[in-house]
Amino acid sequence: MQEAGALSDGEIVELVKAGTLGIEPFDEARLTPNGYDLEIREVASPPAPPVSRGVSRLPAGTRFAVSTREYVRLPDFLMGNLWLRTSWARKGVLASFGVIDAGFEGELTLGAYASAEVEVEVGKTFAQMVFFRLGRPAIKPYAKRSGNYQGQRGVTLEPRERDSSTR
């Protein structure tokens, strides 16, 4: 059994190369000493249609969501934590993200709030994902619990319908 704790950049590379941890596409230039920077694929600020190219100009007081370019696949012994990049906080973006459960697979949808007018550009990094090794593998990973967002692509604001027999 491996020791629990945050993964270093070297451990992330080893797990990706072994195929145990999936980050597609993976770019070593986006590694941090203890995480991986995630890029914006799509910006949504309902009721406006999602933006998947260029810049979305959001007025102050706008709630919005972004999806990540990366499709991630976590094994049953890793979880992820998400952190807003400080460059966005300095522009007035506020966000509080959840945990990526062991066994999750898909693109990520991250909700945020623009406290000041902000330009959100597709292709820019938005958040850092930090991985933590669990003390033991999850008995029931994400797909076997709710799995509401398993396999999602693009901004996904509502849980997907699932066949209850798969839980």
Write down the pLDDT at residue 151: 67
Residue 138 lies inside a defined structural domain of this protein:
yes
Residue 160 lies inside a defined structural domain of this protein:
no
For the segment 82-124, what is each residue's pLDDT rounded down to a tens digit?
999 999 999 999 998 989 999 999 999 999 999 999 999 999 9
**CA dist., res. 167 & res. 165, Å (int):** 6
Domain that holds residue 52: 5-143
Q: Which two tokens stand for residue 112?
A: 């945020």
Is the per-residue pLDDT at 62 higher than 70? yes
Provide the residue type at 18 as one letter: A
Residue 163 lies inside a defined structural domain of this protein:
no
Specify the CATH number for the domain of residue 108.
2.70.40.10
Q: What is the mean pLDDT of residues 121-136?
A: 96
Angle at alpha carbon of residue 34, lines to 32 and 13, rounded to 5°: 80
Residue 132 lies inside a defined structural domain of this protein:
yes
What are the CA-CA distances from residue 141 to residues 48, 120, 128 (Å)?
A: 35, 33, 22
Residue 148 lies inside a defined structural domain of this protein:
no
Task: Tell me the whole-structure pTM to 2 decimals.
Answer: 0.87
Residue 136 lies inside a defined structural domain of this protein:
yes
**Would you say 41 and 68 are in contact if contact means Cβ atoms under 8 Å apart?**
yes
Structural domains counted in the chain:
1
Residue 129 is inside which H or E element, if any? strand 125-133
Residue 89 is inside which H or E element, if any? helix 86-89
